[in-house]
Amino acid sequence: MELSRIFLSSLLTSNLTLFSDFGSPHAACLSLKSKLQLENTTIIDVSYVPGGSRVATLGTCDPIAHVSAPICRVQFFTNTSDTSVVHAEAWLPDQWYGRFLAQGNGGLGGCIFYDHLDYGSSMHFATVASNNGHDGYSGAPFLDHPEVINDFAYRAIHVEAVIGKQIVEAYYGRPHAKSYYLGCSTGGRQGTQAALKYPEDFDGILAGAPATDFNHLIHWSYMLGQHIGAPHPESSPAFIPPELWRAVAAEVMRQCDAIDGVRDGIVTEPDLCDFRPEALLCGRTSRSRCLTEPQVEALRKIYSPLYGDNSEVIYPRYDPGAESEAIPFGPFSGEIGDLFKSWVQNTVLNNTDFDFSQYGPEHLKLMDEINPGGIATFNGDMSTFRDRGGKFLSYHGRVDPASILIASGNSKRVYNLISRTLGMSSLASFYRLFLVPGMAHCTGGPGAGRFGQLNAPTNAVNASSHNILLALVDWVEGGVAPNTIIGTKDNGWTRRVHCRYPQRSVWKKEKWWWKGKFVCEE
């Protein structure tokens, strides 16, 4: 039934792929070289690319990209101010279903995700992605360049939408029917920012693991490391080396794995896990790997929310169960993460020689005051996006071990912020959040983390019941809102139903004691 509905939708819009004025997609594509006259925009190149090709890319991030389906490829840049510019590409498939898709970025990049471009165009979306206003993975271009920060914080995605839609209309001879957005991590924050700041840009937004409340996220990620001695872990009695983190991970599983009703190596609902690290205290355990009191105290801080001077929550706690995916990366290495360091030095302090042993709560206050480019993205007023009929889907893995950790509890926090701001006890009419047990950052991990959210490898089953991008299309175009999403593990055959918040995933035993399945309950 799911497949038939998608197929019918494609048939209803397939007439949009006609090129009667030029006789072929190839000729229509090449005509764009002289046809496109766009404000503040320069066309770098236009080329027709057959399916199965490999092409050189813009920028320094990925030298070669794969092109699955035949496309018209338009490379361009748009001047966003006197001192800033966004480079971007539009991939326009021969077989187009009338849908426009803008794509987000990651980290502090700087990088066009070409595998995401290929995924969108192979799924028959006219797809556009940009470098977010600078080249590369580093935040170094932000130093003394506030307009470059503005591109990163909010403007580049808007440019993708405005310029990309004009290119689409020029190529296909008519405008798009519906407009979508896809991104994760920084891309999730960008999608959230688009709904808040430019609610007319997209009819449907898919925002994974959003790096929202960005200033507090940056601060929290450093404080996690500071709890174990960063930036000088070698002299700290609280430092926990990788081999002891493995003992911590095993103890978390021993205490909390079975809370959902089955032991499967996944803590389904970390917020129900009241982890007691003192069980690992030397003298209380016979294990050869045990923890000292300073190490146990560090864990108590890590697995608790971060509070401010007035007992307000600055950021939620670290998710129990995620530590196994983080070893030995991120803040728990005891080193200063490049993303945190680059952001603080280049955008907050404008000082690349800052001594991070001097970092403290006063720097969070400074970040909040400056809020470079409006980067925080922590505003619950999505009323305009809601009122115009926009649909917002979000997802977050519960074992997110990114180098800048994005606690899945923050996605709950954002949902609740919107609920309070709009006075809605349930946001289900326009905003749905799926918390994915066992999924790492955007994909991967021991859970069923493949449901069409990013690129071709995440699209295990091409149906809206298993593909969250297609589920968004069904919601926007057919009014069919997703109650569940079925994820697939990396092995390709193990599947699990993921529930929309505030529902929880619970193991239900069947007739025979060794059988059961996960179901969603309020």
Q: pLDDT, tens digit, for every residue of 256-314?
A: 999 999 999 999 999 999 999 999 999 876 677 899 999 999 999 999 999 999 999 99
- Coil, helix or strand for 289? coil
Quickly count: other Cβ atoms within 10 Å of residue 175's Cβ.
13
**Average pLDDT value for residue range 370-391:** 98
- The pLDDT of residue 6: 43
**Average pLDDT value for residue range 222-233:** 93
Quickly count: other Cβ atoms within 10 Å of residue 243's Cβ.
10
Instruction: Give the pLDDT band (50/70/90) at residue 4.
Output: very low
Contact 458, 450 (CB under 8 A): yes
- Does the structure show a pLDDT above 90 at 12? no
Q: For residue 206, what are the β-bridge partners?
A: 182, 393
**Stated pTM of the model:** 0.95
Quickly count: other Cβ atoms within 10 Å of residue 121's Cβ.
29
441 is catalytic: yes
Nearest-Å Rg of the Cα atoms of the chain is 23
Instruction: Give the pLDDT band (50/70/90) at residue 515.
Output: confident
Asked which of 60-64, 68-72, 139-143 is least confident by mean pLDDT, the reply is: 60-64
Asked which of 12-16, 35-39, 361-365 is least confident by mean pLDDT, the reply is: 12-16
Contact 267, 445 (CB under 8 A): no
> Which one from 441, 464, 465, 474 is the annotated catalytic residue?
441
- The pLDDT of residue 106: 95
Q: Which long-range contacts (CB under 8 A, 24 or more apart) does 340-344 make?
A: 340/218, 340/221, 340/222, 340/404, 342/108, 342/138, 342/139, 342/140, 342/142, 343/108, 343/139, 343/142, 343/218, 344/218
| Stretch (H or E) spanning 56 | strand 53-56
Considering only residues 319 and 62, tell me which one the structure prediction assigns the higher pLDDT: 319
- Coil, helix or strand for 515? coil
For tokens 């999924």, the residue is 439
**Average pLDDT value for residue range 27-51:** 95
400 is catalytic: yes
In angstroms, the CA 160 to CA 103 distance is 8
> Which one from 179, 185, 221, 342 is the annotated catalytic residue?
185
185 is catalytic: yes
**DSSP calls for 138-196:** -SGGGTT-HHHHHIIIIIHHHHHHHHHHHHHHHHHSS--SEEEEEEETHHHHHHHHHHH
- Does the structure show a pLDDT above 60 at 14? no
- Coil, helix or strand for 493? coil
- The pLDDT of residue 324: 80
- The pLDDT of residue 332: 87
In angstroms, the CA 285 to CA 287 distance is 5
> Which one from 400, 408, 498, 505 is the annotated catalytic residue?
400
In angstroms, the CA 363 to CA 350 distance is 13
| Stretch (H or E) spanning 324 | helix 323-326
